Structure 1
C-alpha cells in the first residue's frame, strides 16, 4: 500500500517550455553595476596539439686526446728518476755530514824513511775528516809526489779507518852531477838531491858532467846502472866487506876505476869482463893483506892479456 505524503512535500510538476535563467548575481542584483552595453566577441577557437616535452639531451663529455704510450713511459721514468735523485741526494748529504763516517784511525804501512805522520799529511788524510770526502786516488797521487815514495795505495774501511801502503825508494849510491850530489836507485834513477838528513855512507859515482846529463839522460841512466852492477859484484865477492867502496869513477872511454878502503886503493877494471876482474882483484887484495903490504893501485885493465895484474905499492 502506498504512503500518502503530506501536501507540502508533494512534488510539483516541472514547468513546460523554456525556463528563464536566474538573474546574474553580480549584474542583475539590485545595486550592482550595469553591464557594459556591448561585450567584445570571444576569440575564435583554435586547435592546439600538445606534445610531451622531449627528454633532456645528455651533454657529451669533452673527449681528451689520448696520450701516446711512449710519453706515458717517459713520464713514468721521469717520476722514478726524480724520486731516485731525491733519495740519493738525501743519502749523500747524510754520509758526508754524519759523525759516524769521520776518520778515526789512519794506518801507514811500508814506510821506513818517512814517518807515518809525514805520509798521512802528504795525502791530507786527517783524523776527523769525513771518510767519503777523501778521494783515494788523489790522496795516493799526493803522497807519491814525495821523492822517497815510489808508489802509494790508499784504501778505506768503514766506518772510520784509512790504510796507506807505500813503497819507498832505496838509495844505492850517490852520483856527482853538475856540482851536486843526487841519490840513485838501483835502476840508475837519480830521484832526489842529497840533503842534510839523507844517507851519506854510500858509494859515490863520478865522471858524469851536467852537459852529459842534459843531452843524454837515458845514456846517463845506463852508465849509472853499469856502475851499480860493479858495486854489487864487489859486494858479492866480499871486497866491499873488507874494503868499503868509496868511489866508482866512469871514464869517457867506458873505463871504470873503483876506489876502496880507508887506504883509497884504486882498482882499474878496464871496459869489459868486470865480474872476472873483480874476482881476480879479490885474490890480489887477500895476498896483499897476508903480506901486510900497502898497495895504492891495482891494474886489471889489460884487455889483450886479462890474466896480467900490475900492483903499485905505496
Structure 2
C-alpha cells in the first residue's frame, strides 16, 4: 500500500519537545563537508538539521576548510576531520552521535573514503528508532556510480536513507530509471525496487517524491496543484532536504518515517516562503511550519 504523506496528531506529538528533556534527548547529528570553497552545501544541511530539532549538529570538515566554516557557523558546531580512519575513531568513541549525513559538497574522492567508514559504524536496520542512521545524498551517491554494488553491499542491513534526484538515481539504478522514463514502472514502483536492491530507504526527489523502504513500505508526497512548491527549483534546496531528514533521524524517527516527514516539511517550508525563495530561506521557515501544524 502506498501512503500519501500528511501531518497527523501522532507526528505532531513526536516533533514536539518535552519540557524535561535536554539537548542529548534529541540526538547529535554530524554533517561531513568537503574542501575549501565547497562548504556551503554542508552548512545548509547542518542548519536544516538544527532547525528541525536535532539537539546538536556538528560540521566535520578538513583542516584547510575550518576557517571558512568558522566564519559562518554559530549554533552549529565545527570539528576537523582528516580521513576515514579519523571518522571511525570519532564514531566509535562517541555513541551520542546518532545521525550522519554524507554527500552535500563532500567531493567524490572524499566520499569514496568516508562512506564505507561511516557505514561500518551504522546501526542495523529494522528498529523503529535506529541507534545510528546514515543519510547519503549528492556526492555520496555519485561516487559509486561505476560500482553501485559496492555501495549496496555495504548498505544492506544498515539504517540508511538515500536521497537522490532523478539523475543520481539513474547513476545507481540505470535499468530502473530507464523503465521509469519508458512508463514501464511508476515512480513509486521504481523506488520500491531500488530500496529492495540496495537494502536502504530511498527517497526519489521531485514534484512527486516517492519513498520506499526495504521492507516494502512505500509513500508518495505530491507537491502538485494547490500543494505545489515550484520555488524548490533552486540551488541547494536538495541539501536542505537531506539536512531535514538527518535531523529527524537524529531525533529518533525511523529512516522511512524521517524521509516521509522530511519531504512534507521541505515542501511546506517552500510554500510558506513563496516566490523569491533561495535555499538559505528554507531552514528559517521550518519553525513557522511547525507552529502551523500545532507543534
Task: Give the shorter-chain TM-score range.
Answer: under 0.3
Q: Name the one with the larger helix percent.
A: 2
Whichever structure has more strand as a proportion of its residues is 1
Name the TM-score, length of structure 1 as normaliser.
0.20
Which has the larger Rg?
1
Q: TM-score of the superposition, structure 2-length normalised? A: 0.21
